[in-house]
Every structure is written in structure tokens, then in C-alpha cells.
């Protein structure tokens, strides 16, 4: 098997082992560490899956040829005999070789197929995700209007309203845009929305999700990578809510979580990839 495919399989196996360990100890770590730790620990799995590792296996098995009774044979040969009868290579050929461990050979057809299939599927998946993402960007931008007059908004962040969404989200890695649903939102709810989404923005969660998408495209054949993606999405929202509520009063926390729960219950849109969508699963609404 070619070296590139060996490296990918090794990295994928290492990441899978680490992910399995984290899943097994998660009930314990959730009690000991903060939601922020629970979120960023999965980044180590992604990094392990892309760290360069050089794998080199011997092309042929090494055979050890034992030479028996060497000292006895040396004593029987006189200096004159040693000059007249030099050692012949045939002596080594007649020795018995011990069997060595041998890695089963993989048929060349399978090697060539795997070497072609892996990058081809990776490229197709990446193209599909990017095409779908760009179409979503064009559609939502076309059916939205700019929202001006909001305070405490970073200059780099644009705010728009659209009828295509029923929950707020931030999209765009280079030029991030906050999209708000075209519904009536109270002033308090808008403050909570901005608090939530600006927390995502300041933590660069979109960059994290883009990196996760690239890693999943490389390791598309590994089921553990999809488990890691789901863990990242869930812990991203939990840690964001926890971070956003740190400086809120108890009543404000209740109002904040009630607003998110309302978005979850009324949202009919599926989760958008490469975005920080505010309406997530009900089971993660825990502070």
C-alpha cells in the first residue's frame, strides 16, 4: 500500500482511539471540567488526524541465517588449509533459514483502487459541501435586507434580516454576517441574541467548524469522525450558552434560556453546516 494511504489510515486510527477514550471518560470529565474544556478537547482529535506522520515498513522480510559450530570449524582448519580452501558462498546457502514474520501482500489492484478512491471521494465531498454552502449564501443574501442602527456591533460584522430563517445564525468566515429572522423581536430578546452570536464570533467558532469540515472530508471513511463532529456541534452551543450567561443574573439566565427554547420549538429549519445556528437540540439546553 502506498505511503500516503498508510499515513491516512494510521492518523485515522489514532484519532479514533483518542475519540473513543474521550467518549468513555466524558461522564467523569463533565463533572470535573468546564463546558469550554469539553468543547475544545475535541480539537485535539482533529489535530491528531492531520499531524504528519512518516510510516516506513520493510519492503522484504529480514532472514536471519544462523551459523552453527563456527568455533569448532575454525579450530579444525589449519593456516595452510585456510589459504588453500577459502570459504565458499555455498556453505551459507546450505544453512537452514528460520521463518520470518511476513506482512500479507495486498493485491496491486486493491492498492491502486484505494489510492484513487480515497482522494476522489474526499474531493467530491469537499466540492459538494462548498457548492451547497455557496448556494445557501447566495440565496439568503438575495432574500435579506440590511439591518442598521444596532449598537455594540463589531465593525467587521454585518447584520441582515431574512424571511428564510426562523432562528438567528452567523455565517461567513472572512466577512461574517449575522442573519436575524424577519419576525418581531423584543429589545431584550435582541440583546440576548447579540450576546449569544457575538460570543460565537469572538471565539472564532466558525474557523473551528471549517477545520472540522476539512478533517471530516479527509477521513470520510471513518465513522468516528462523524461522532466527533456531532460532539463539537453540541459542545459548541453548550459552552457558548455557558459563556454568555456568566455575567447574567438568575432571572436573566431564565429569560435567556426561555428564548432559546422558544427558537428550538418553533424552528422547522434543519441545522445549517458552517454556521453558528442558535436553535439547537433541546437536550443541550443546560447551563
How does pLDDT run across 202-213, given as a tens digit for each residue? 999 999 999 999
DSSP secondary structure of 206-256:
HHHHHHHHHHHHHTTT-HHHHHHHHHHHHHHHHHHHHHHTTTS-HHHHHHH
At 18 the pLDDT is 97
Residue 60 has pLDDT above 70, yes or no: no
Mean pLDDT in residue range 57-82 = 51
In a domain, 19, yes or no: no
Mean pLDDT in residue range 196-221 = 94
Q: Which three cell numbers stand for residue 152?
A: 455594540
Highest-confidence range of 16-20, 145-149, 236-240, by mean pLDDT?
16-20
At 166 the pLDDT is 84
The residues near 155 (Cβ < 8 Å, ≥ 6 apart) are none
Task: Identify the weakest region by mean pLDDT among 9-18, 50-59, 111-120, 130-139.
Answer: 50-59
Residue 66 has pLDDT above 90, yes or no: no
Terminal Cα distance for the chain, rounded: 49
In a domain, 52, yes or no: no
Instruction: Label residue 32 left, alpha or beta by phi (over 0 means left) and psi (-120 to 50 means alpha).
Output: alpha
pTM of the model: 0.77
Residue 231 has pLDDT above 60, yes or no: yes
pLDDT digits (tens, 9 = 90+) for 151-172: 778 888 899 999 988 888 999 8
| Longest Cα separation, the chain | 110
In a domain, 279, yes or no: yes
In a domain, 4, yes or no: no
**Residue 174 binned pLDDT confidence (cut-offs 50, 70, 90):** confident
Give start and end residues of each alpha helix (H) in the chain. 3-32, 35-48, 70-76, 79-84, 90-93, 108-142, 187-203, 205-218, 223-244, 250-266
The owner of cell 512518516 is 54
At 95 the pLDDT is 45
At 96 the pLDDT is 47
In a domain, 37, yes or no: no
Higher pLDDT, 228 or 183: 228
Mean pLDDT in residue range 87-102 = 49
- How far apart (Å, rounded) are the C-alpha atoms in residues 277 and 140? 14
At 106 the pLDDT is 53
At 287 the pLDDT is 46
Range(s) of the domain holding residue 139: 123-284
In a domain, 44, yes or no: no
In a domain, 195, yes or no: yes
In a domain, 30, yes or no: no
**Residue 286 binned pLDDT confidence (cut-offs 50, 70, 90):** very low
**Residue 239 binned pLDDT confidence (cut-offs 50, 70, 90):** very high
At 86 the pLDDT is 53
Mean pLDDT in residue range 102-122 = 69
The total of structural domains in the chain comes to: 1
Look at residue 203 and give its three-state secondary structure: helix
At 82 the pLDDT is 46
Task: Identify the weakest region by mean pLDDT among 49-53, 230-234, 245-249.
Answer: 49-53
pLDDT digits (tens, 9 = 90+) for 252-284: 999 998 888 888 777 665 667 778 877 555 444
Share of the chain above pLDDT 70, in %: 72
Residue 260 near residue 278, CB atoms below 8 Å: yes
Mean pLDDT in residue range 65-79 = 51
- Give me the chain's average pLDDT, please: 81
Amino acid at each position: 500500500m502506498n505511503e500516503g494511504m498508510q499515513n491516512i489510515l494510521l492518523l485515522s486510527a489514532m484519532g479514533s482511539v483518542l475519540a473513543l477514550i474521550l467518549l468513555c471518560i466524558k461522564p467523569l470529565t463533565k463533572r470535573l471540567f468546564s463546558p469550554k474544556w469539553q468543547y475544545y478537547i475535541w480539537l485535539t482529535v482533529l489535530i491528531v488526524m492531520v499531524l504528519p506522520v512518516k510510516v516506513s515498513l520493510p519492503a522484504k522480510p529480514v532472514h536471519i541465517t544462523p551459523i552453527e559450530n563456527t568455533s569448532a570449524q575454525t579450530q579444525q582448519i589449519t593456516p595452510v588449509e585456510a589459504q588453500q580452501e577459502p570459504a565458499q558462498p555455498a556453505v551459507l546457502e546450505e544453512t537452514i533459514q528460520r521463518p520470518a514474520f511476513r506482512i500479507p501482500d495486498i493485491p496491486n489492484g486493491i492498492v491502486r483502487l484505494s489510492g484513487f478512491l480515497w482522494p476522489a471521494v474526499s474531493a467530491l465531498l469537499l466540492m459538494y459541501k462548498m457548492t451547497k454552502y455557496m448556494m445557501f449564501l447566495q440565496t439568503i443574501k438575495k432574500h435579506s435586507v440590511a439591518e442598521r442602527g444596532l449598537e455594540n456591533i463589531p465593525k467587521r460584522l454585518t447584520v441582515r434580516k431574512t424571511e428564510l430563517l426562523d432562528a438567528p445564525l452567523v455565517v461567513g468566515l472572512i466577512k461574517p454576517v449575522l442573519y436575524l429572522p424577519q419576525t418581531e423581536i423584543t429589545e431584550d430578546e435582541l440583546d440576548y441574541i447579540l450576546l449569544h452570536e457575538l460570543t460565537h464570533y469572538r471565539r472564532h467558532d466558525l474557523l473551528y467548524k471549517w477545520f472540522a469540515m476539512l478533517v471530516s472530508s479527509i477521513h470520510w471513511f471513518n465513522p468516528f469522525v462523524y461522532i466527533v463532529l456531532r460532539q463539537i456541534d453540541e459542545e459548541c452551543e453548550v459552552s457558548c450558552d455557558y459563556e454568555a450567561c456568566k455575567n447574567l443574573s438568575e432571572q436573566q439566565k431564565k429569560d435567556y434560556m426561555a428564548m432559546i427554547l422558544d427558537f428550538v420549538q418553533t424552528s422547522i429549519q434543519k441545522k445549517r453546516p458552517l454556521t453558528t445556528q442558535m436553535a439547537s437540540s433541546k437536550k443541550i439546553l443546560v447551563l
